[in-house]
Structure 1
Amino acid sequence: MSTDQPAVRIGVLQMTSGIDPVANAATIAAALTSAAHDGAAMLLTPEMAGLLDRDRARARDHIVMEEDSPTLATLRNAAARSGIWLHVGSLPVRAEGPGETRFANRAFVIDPSGAIVARYDKIHMFDVDLASGESWRESNAYRPGEQVVTVDCPIGRLGLAICYDVRFPALFEELGRRGCDVITVPAAFTVPTGRAHWHLMLRARAVEASAFVIAPAQTGHHADGRDTYGHSLVIDPWGDVLLDMGTDAGLDFAMIDLARVGEVRRQLPSLVNRRDIPRFNA
């Protein structure tokens, strides 16, 4: 992407999404109106922005095919009314395919006309047992994605990732090699892992890809009983934190200056200096 364009203002929405998709969609729609009023070119939201419910039996009633999703339709209409771009960090939708019974954890990029211009299904599934006693098996209900996705938009070439993807540097290296200026990492991070690794990993991914990283997050205590870490971040290609939203839900803003991407890549051209590492026998 060209770095001649002026810096672009973005809105970042930190949410405490609950089990009511209508209420969650209303929160996002209101944020779109506010972001547009404050001059943002794009609003970015967390993972599972439209529905966050660990009770899969209860959640299943709200999870439908993408084309049948009232939440997605509401958000597309809201983006068109506001006249700005929207990155929906993710929504749960039914996965396509004969005999497929699982869901997809899917991110959407929506343009100011309300059209969907990119989709990304989360590749890495969060299957862990934490020392806190929390146990998560995302793969029991969700089908992993298989495609690396980028899209051009007002904040440059955007690369898409979701939450647990942040622990897999190869994805971010590939997004850097594909010329991404900005990478999004919408998340619903647990509190223990957030305290230990959130800032550390996101800053590292920004440096590795020589790109801005925007990480809108879920925060606080949710209706399904979980607690999330918050601290939505915007990080520049040098690894400097430009925005940290702490633990309160709400809307905040940052500037994305694509000239900074070029400066860092000229100073430290690690993406072009990369060599394939030979495989060694154990």
Structure 2
Amino acid sequence: MRALPIGLVQTTTGLDTSANAEALAGAATALARAGAKIVFTPEMCGLLDRNAPRLEAAAVPEAEAPALRALAAVARAEAVAIAIGSLAVRAPGGRLRNRSLVLGPDGRILARYDKIHLFDVDLPDGSRYRESASFEAGDRLALADLPWGRLGLSICYDLRFPALYRALAEAGASVIASPAAFTVPTGRAHWHVLLRARAIETGAFIVAAAQTGRHADGRETYGHSLVVDPWGEVLLDMGTAPGTALLVLDLDRVGEVRAQLPALRHARAFVPPSAERPAA
């Protein structure tokens, strides 16, 4: 058994970036000292705010992000890798990016991923989200090479686009991070089934650290941080309370499941249907 102890942080992130960073650092430190080799945090774990002007005013360039600085210090001090679910960072052009970062055990950044699929939707409960009003989309996948294997990166709404996950698996990812701040209505309907589907399709472990509860900006997130194995079995469900969890993954399961169900190798190219109307 190739054992990988992982830690998850489930948070109710607020508007105070310093307090958020301190809480993340404390949680990551505790998980590292409990034996985690890599810690996963949720989407927007440094600042969660749907008030666009206030978010714009608070966002800083990557190097100045309090959460990144705090977690890099933990990574160095505890020799633990950290997959930062995402932070709102100001890109060189001035626009914001919803960015995941993977820190190595020395605190250095191993990979960056800017969320490709932005969540713009009007929900039946009256909630309205326009992620593209504040953020610009990324355009490329990212993976991080760690001592135990390759970690693929995704963020929240990406979960609804299976081609992205397949591409990560085909690029060698044995574990895929799916950090999120899922709304309650969509979480109840789709969270578990989508994460299980992505695990089954890719034959990879899916690690989904999530936001939970009522936030200072007025939104409510679903929680239920999950870890799903390559067979689609839920190994961990953190429910709705903020906190941390430690779990050991058996990385040999990836090869076993992919040999048993070699769907990645069986994929074939195909010609899509023509947009032209058939001849009468």
> Which TM-score applies when normalising by structure 1?
0.95
Residue 228 (structure 1) aligned with residue 230 (structure 2): no
Aligned to 1:21: 17
The C-alpha deviation readout for 1:161-197, integer Å capped at 9, x for no partner, is 0000000011011111111100000000000000000
- Percent identity between the aligned chains? 54
Aligned to 2:60: 64
The C-alpha deviation readout for 1:141-161, integer Å capped at 9, x for no partner, is 101011111111144210000
Separation in 2, partners of 1:139, 1:277: 32
The C-alpha deviation readout for 1:181-228, integer Å capped at 9, x for no partner, is 000000000000000000000000001111000000000001111000
Picking from 173, 186, 207, the partner of 2:179 is 186
Query: What one-letter code is carried by the residue in structure 2 that aligns with 1:108?
Result: L
Separation in 2, partners of 1:151, 1:25: 23
8 Å CA contact 2:116–2:158 kept in 1: the answer is yes
Residue 126 (structure 1) aligned with residue 116 (structure 2): no
Aligned to 1:103: 96
Q: Secondary structure at the match of 2:8?
A: strand
Aligned to 2:256: 263
The C-alpha deviation readout for 1:240-277, integer Å capped at 9, x for no partner, is 00000000100001111110000001000000000012
Query: What one-letter code is carried by the residue in structure 2 that aligns with 1:110?
Result: L
Picking from 201, 217, 222, the partner of 2:194 is 201
Aligned to 1:45: 41
Aligned to 1:218: 211
Q: How many residues align?
A: 275
Separation in 1, partners of 2:88, 2:68: 10
8 Å CA contact 2:228–2:236 kept in 1: the answer is yes
8 Å CA contact 1:155–1:256 kept in 2: the answer is no
Separation in 1, partners of 2:263, 2:58: 45
The C-alpha deviation readout for 1:20-46, integer Å capped at 9, x for no partner, is 111111111111211111111011000
> Which TM-score applies when normalising by structure 2?
0.96
8 Å CA contact 1:8–1:154 kept in 2: the answer is no
8 Å CA contact 1:95–1:143 kept in 2: the answer is no
Separation in 2, partners of 1:64, 1:155: 33
Residue 7 (structure 1) aligned with residue 31 (structure 2): no
Unaligned runs of 5+ in 1: none
Aligned to 1:169: 162
Separation in 1, partners of 2:132, 2:49: 15
Q: Secondary structure at the match of 2:60?
A: coil
Q: Which consecutive segments of 4 or more residues in structure 1 shift more than 6 A? A: none
Picking from 255, 266, 271, the partner of 1:273 is 266
Separation in 1, partners of 2:24, 2:147: 20
Q: Secondary structure at the match of 1:181?
A: strand
Separation in 1, partners of 2:75, 2:49: 25
Separation in 1, partners of 2:195, 2:255: 20
Separation in 2, partners of 1:155, 1:168: 26
RMSD, aligned CA: 1.1
Structure 1 residues 183 and 82 mapped into 2: Cα distance closer, same or farther (>3 Å)? same
The C-alpha deviation readout for 1:39-73, integer Å capped at 9, x for no partner, is 11011000000100111222223211112323322
8 Å CA contact 1:32–1:82 kept in 2: the answer is no
Structure 1 residues 79 and 6 mapped into 2: Cα distance closer, same or farther (>3 Å)? same
Separation in 1, partners of 2:227, 2:91: 31
Separation in 2, partners of 1:78, 1:176: 29
Separation in 2, partners of 1:275, 1:26: 48
8 Å CA contact 1:44–1:216 kept in 2: the answer is yes
